[in-house]
């Protein structure tokens, strides 16, 4: 274990070196730490990486090119990168019980691209596909994509709709996945907000997708991956799970059995931050049948690996294999449920009426607000959230009718059920005291709002007081 003095010395020294070259960057880094220490971070996709993970990213591995994979590089002198990548993959396999792990993706989107192309390469032999594999993806025009799709037989993807909690990378047109695939969505039951597996099965039988995607960014319940695999098998689809949001709950063995995607999916993608509490990056897990294709991620769709980030992934994955991570993962869910109960008790409307995981989705139309108005009013009050669509959202994906909140970050800081109830009170106070604003011509605005600055300041101070007994990075002092 490092000493607090060692961690403080490391970060202070780093800032001194940076300040000598560009002091404004050093100031921005220090300001970001101060802001994070003083605000209630409730963005479900954010967390706080450990000092060891953060420090692992700032080193000489940043200077090394290492296209290829362990033992098969296109550059010489990669022996140390091989060590780092092999360790990160080993920790990932052991942590998740996977037979193969690919730790190079720079993000969750990159991980999904690797998975998509691995599935296509495994399932389809095509001259167009082979050409695409050796070209830079960014060089392909939209016409190229659709020509490729036609040659491949109009490949189809079935994934969760955006307003039901799905993700842009699961086949939606603005994302590259929507150019690669003919996409259709499954939603949730209008009455409950829950996945209706019978409806998913019916959609799969009608659409006959090549890939059935499960996973979410704003669905507050568990998914039964055993049933989803059965649906995929019934139509001959490859079953892919994007567990970017809930990977920490899988790693911490909160999600097991039917709710652990790794034993059921053909291929699993994830980010390494969010609930996993590592550096920003991605990862792919799969069985031996797809391993060779996945390992071609670079140069198929990825640029050169980021060895310094792979080093940080190895550190974070090693941390997640410790017994205390399981306790942390369980507390994430306990806190989310306490937060949900606190909001429900104050009259808030929650999508699905609660949560089984790390996130809560508030329908703020009950407060007479759009998601954009609520998001900014909360930010003014020291509470950091993000707006999010709710099922059948009348305000669309930009203004939205929802606010998504999550508990991974506050759980890292050590907050518990009592603090979650206090947080629910602060959120409710702000939302109930915020009213919609008007445009210059007097028409109702979906963005402008009215909130007493004195109330916002009071709530912000209360939020800071709530956090004062749970300091962020207590081992790190910059002055």
Which residue reads 């306790």 in tokens? 327
Is residue 140 scored above 80 in pLDDT? no
Give residues with Cβ within 8 angstroms of 282, minimum separation 6.
Answer: 105, 106, 107, 108, 109, 110, 111, 112, 244, 269, 270, 271, 272
Lowest average pLDDT, out of 72-76, 148-152, 352-356, 475-479, goes to 148-152
Share of the chain above pLDDT 90, in %: 81
Cβ atoms of 293 and 101 closer than 8 Å: no
pLDDT band (50, 70, 90) for residue 144: low
Q: Is 113 exposed, middle or buried (0-12, 13-18, 19+ CB in 10 A)?
A: buried
Cβ atoms of 209 and 157 closer than 8 Å: yes
Across the range 347-359, mean pLDDT stands at: 97
Torsion of CA 308, 309, 314, 318, to 10 degrees: 120
pLDDT band (50, 70, 90) for residue 134: very low
Q: Catalytic residues, which ones?
A: 65, 67, 242, 271, 274, 280
Q: Higher pLDDT residue, 84 or 475?
A: 84
205-259 pLDDT per residue, tens: 999 999 999 999 999 999 999 999 999 999 999 999 999 999 999 999 999 999 9
Which residue reads 């939209």 in tokens? 142
281-314 pLDDT per residue, tens: 999 999 999 999 999 998 888 888 999 999 999 9
Distances (CA, A) of 213 to 112, 170, 271, 419: 10, 7, 16, 36
Report the pLDDT value the prediction gives residue 141, as an integer from 0 to 100.
64
Q: How would DSSP label each residue in 239-284? A: EEEE-TTTHHHHHTTSS-GGG-STTT-SEEEEESSGGG---S-EEE
Report the pLDDT value the prediction gives residue 254, as an integer from 0 to 100.
98
User: In the predicted model, what is the mean pLDDT of the chain?
Assistant: 91
- The backbone torsions φ and ψ at residue 43, rounded to the nearest 5 degrees and listed phi first, read -70, 125
Domains of the chain are: 60-320 (3.40.640.10), 324-468 (3.90.1150.10)
38-94 pLDDT per residue, tens: 999 999 999 999 999 999 999 999 999 999 999 999 899 999 999 999 999 999 999
Is residue 127 scored above 70 in pLDDT? no
């Amino acid at each position: 274990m490092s000493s607090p003095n060692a961690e403080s010395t490391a970060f202070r020294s780093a800032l001194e070196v940076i300040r000598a070259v560009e002091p404004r960057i050093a100031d921005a880094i220090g300001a970001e730490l101060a802001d994070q220490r003083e605000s209630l971070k409730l963005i479900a996709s954010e967390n706080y990486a450990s000092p060891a993970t953060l420090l692992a990213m700032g080193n000489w591995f940043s200077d090394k090119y290492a296209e290829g994979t362990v033992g098969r590089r296109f550059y010489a002198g990669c022996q140390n990168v091989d060590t780092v990548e092999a360790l990160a993959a080993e920790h990932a396999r052991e942590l998740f019980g996977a037979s193969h792990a690919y730790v190079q993706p720079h993000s969750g989107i990159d991980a999904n691209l690797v998975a998509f192309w691995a599935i296509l390469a495994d399932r389809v032999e095509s001259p167009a596909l082979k050409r695409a594999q050796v070209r830079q993806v960014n060089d392909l025009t939209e016409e190229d994509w659709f020509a490729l799709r036609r040659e491949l037989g109009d490949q189809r993807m079935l994934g969760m709709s955006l307003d039901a909690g799905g993700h842009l990378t699961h086949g939606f047109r603005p994302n590259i996945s929507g150019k690669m695939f003919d996409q259709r969505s499954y939603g949730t039951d209008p009455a409950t907000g829950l996945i209706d597996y019978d409806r998913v099965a019916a959609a799969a039988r009608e659409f006959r997708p090549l890939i059935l995607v499960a996973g979410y960014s704003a669905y507050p319940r568990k998914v039964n991956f055993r049933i989803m695999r059965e649906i995929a098998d019934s139509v001959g689809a490859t079953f892919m799970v994007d567990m970017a949001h809930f990977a920490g709950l899988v790693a911490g063995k909160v999600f097991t059995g039917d709710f652990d995607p790794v034993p059921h999916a053909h291929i699993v993608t994830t980010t390494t931050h969010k609930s996993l509490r590592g550096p920003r990056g991605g990862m792919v897990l799969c069985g031996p049948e797809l391993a060779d294709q996945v390992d071609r991620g670079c140069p198929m769709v990825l640029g050169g690996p980021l060895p310094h980030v792979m080093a940080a992934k190895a550190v974070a994955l090693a941390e997640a294999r410790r017994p205390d991570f399981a306790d942390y993962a369980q507390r994430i869910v306990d806190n989310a449920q306490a937060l949900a109960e606190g909001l429900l008790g104050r009259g808030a409307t929650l999508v699905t009426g609660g949560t089984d995981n790390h996130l809560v989705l508030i329908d703020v139309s009950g407060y007479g607000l759009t998601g954009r108005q609520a998001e900014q009013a909360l930010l003014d009050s020291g509470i950091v959230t993000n707006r999010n669509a709710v099922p059948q959202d009348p305000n669309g994906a930009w203004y939205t009718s929802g606010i998504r909140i999550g508990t991974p970050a506050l759980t890292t800081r050590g907050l518990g059920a009592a603090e979650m109830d206090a947080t629910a009170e602060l959120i409710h106070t702000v939302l109930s005291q915020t009213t919609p604003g008007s445009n210059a011509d007097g028409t109702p605005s979906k963005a402008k709002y009215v909130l007493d600055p004195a109330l916002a300041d009071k709530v912000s101070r209360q939020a800071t007081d709530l956090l004062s007994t749970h300091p962020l990075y207590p081992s790190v002092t910059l002055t």
